[in-house]
Structure 1
Amino acid sequence: MSMKKLLWPLWILLTLLIGGYYSYVLFASEDKAALLIGEATHGHYQIELECDSCHTDAFGGTEVLQDACTSCHAAELEDAHDSHPKKKFTDPREAYRLEIIDARYCVSCHTEHQSEQTRAMGVTLPDDYCWHCHQEVGEERESHKDLAFDSCASAGCHNFHDNRALFEDFLVNNANQPWLLKQGEQLPSLDIRNAAKLYANKEVAIDPQQDAKHMANHPTETEHWQDTAHANAGISCTGCHSPNETAQQGDDDWISKPGIEVCASCHQAEFDGFSAGKHGMRLAAGAATAISPADVQSDLAFDQDNLHLQQGCNSCHQPHQYDTEFAATDACLTCHQDEHSLAFEASPHGQLWQQASAGDMPVEQAVSCASCHMPRVAKKKRGEQVVSVQHNQNYYLRPNEKMIRPVCMQCHSLEFSIDALADPDLIRTNFADKPGIHIKSIDWALKRAER
């Protein structure tokens, strides 16, 4: 038999083996990792095996991927008053820029599964991407002539999507302020009892007879529950522990550990925020288990004794107690043990929090982990102003200048906020001192305004 005739059966056998393996992975195996074409980014690795989260159509192209991006990130871009929206690049006057970067599509700058070229915030372009469209700025502005061509997006200067705190008019209008403003003067008050009434799902099945029985059997839980917003809103045992349609059929329908969907039935805004953030996105994508510190793919340090803890509502909120102090700081430090987190207690912010915990100052004037990473948001709901907590902890995190207006400027000047967030050493020590870096954005804006 000639070598050529021998190779054909080998090629056919090899093809069948490879095809059979991938068919097994695709249709029978629970582990789909072999189908990945490359590592997912820091923002998406949690859902890298939930392929249909992004690839909703197996034969879809750029438009399908764009719809997947906006299904998760559209609200954030709208809130940020996106400085490079798609409509800007459908304007014929800007069409020539599409030859440089087709900024109508997220994947033009954020290409997944390309770890070898992925930079901060999932950007897969070289760091000089701003310069290619805006090189005339470096030539026309005296203040920008000596700047490096890849420094446009440096901290305190420009962000591609969110420039709310960096526009020139805003810089000028908020210049020359004292570094520390009156503490808590702008913080919205969180009226948890009123919020509970507004959020309460009136269709929750309540069975007074069953409630009385279970309260008698669980006196400790009942005592804790009586001081909660749930009690104030009339949400008792069966409101969470029994399915609505069978709530009055007896103990057989009792749910000992209600799932996160029970919380979502009343707390939709908080659930939406949680689902969009790192703590909840895995569950939102349909994964069987929630994220735990052991699953995190980053250089963050975690408490080695709590690596197994899965993230859900009860991770921070005890089911029968209302303890925002635990949720605002202690719950975070249960898992997070990086340098920034460990420095909180000794920092000025941490000292304020300790004073508030001791009753020596109002909680509204203190600063917890949640004050910065899950700030309060005031919105209209059913005709009433409701202050809720943004449970998407990434919302104001990257780039960190997104924190300037909703978080830092509640207590600090714009100049201090910009400088502080640009100082990596200060961030590591949890803002234990004043910034050691000065960003000249406000200085340049004032000079241009004078001219």
Structure 2
Amino acid sequence: MGTGESGDPSRLPTEINEIRFDVKKKSNRKARTRYRIWAYYMVGGVLSLFCIVVLLHPDYAYLHVSGPMNIGHEELACEDCHKSERGNLRQQLQANVRYLLGRGTNPVAVGYRAVNNYDCLYCHERPNDRHPVSRFFAPRFREARERIRPQYCVGCHSEHNGKRVTSGMSYCDVCHEKIEVENDPVSISHRQLARDGNWASCLACHDYHGNHKMEVTRDFDTRITEQELRRYFAGEIDSPYATQKFHKAKARVEP
């Protein structure tokens, strides 16, 4: 009684040892599993860190280029537009962890911050702009901001597309749907064009930024054709508006 299944007292030490061996074996198996998991984490962490370092290094920028540079930007270097985020890599990761834990107000970019209006305006800002991006932050342009993002340069000039303009041609109705021109000089009135929904014709007569030295036609039949505008937007032809400009963009960002 109480001496094991065989009832043989001499087998008790052997059974105890077998139990101890089995427990130790299971413990060793769990330990090996833990070590294996930690090894996977370590290898994954090292590989991830290596990839981050490689992708952030200027010499390897070609590995993550999104697409061809837009027309006029072919000679720009990556760092001309893509500026380093504040802080080092450790500080950037810590800031994002704090944000995810609810202890930070905003996330930060890792490596390079996103391109913003200031980066574009460094080369392209001019005093005669008829549609400066800053104007569209006003409350009355809320609908326009939601529909076409005119408050951002990249709303119409999204980079790495190999084009000059990436927006469509029929967005003027967002702000000018109820247009009325007193003593309208055009052969077909602006009001009539708006009623007809002929919004693609706006850019056929009007240069959006007003930087080309041109005379606006009064004869609607002599306007720039839609095909010409599409080819100009795509970067296939030079400007159909005019060859001369009031202000030229800087050729390259100064150091």
TM-score by length of 2: 0.48
Structure possessing the higher radius of gyration over alpha carbons: 2
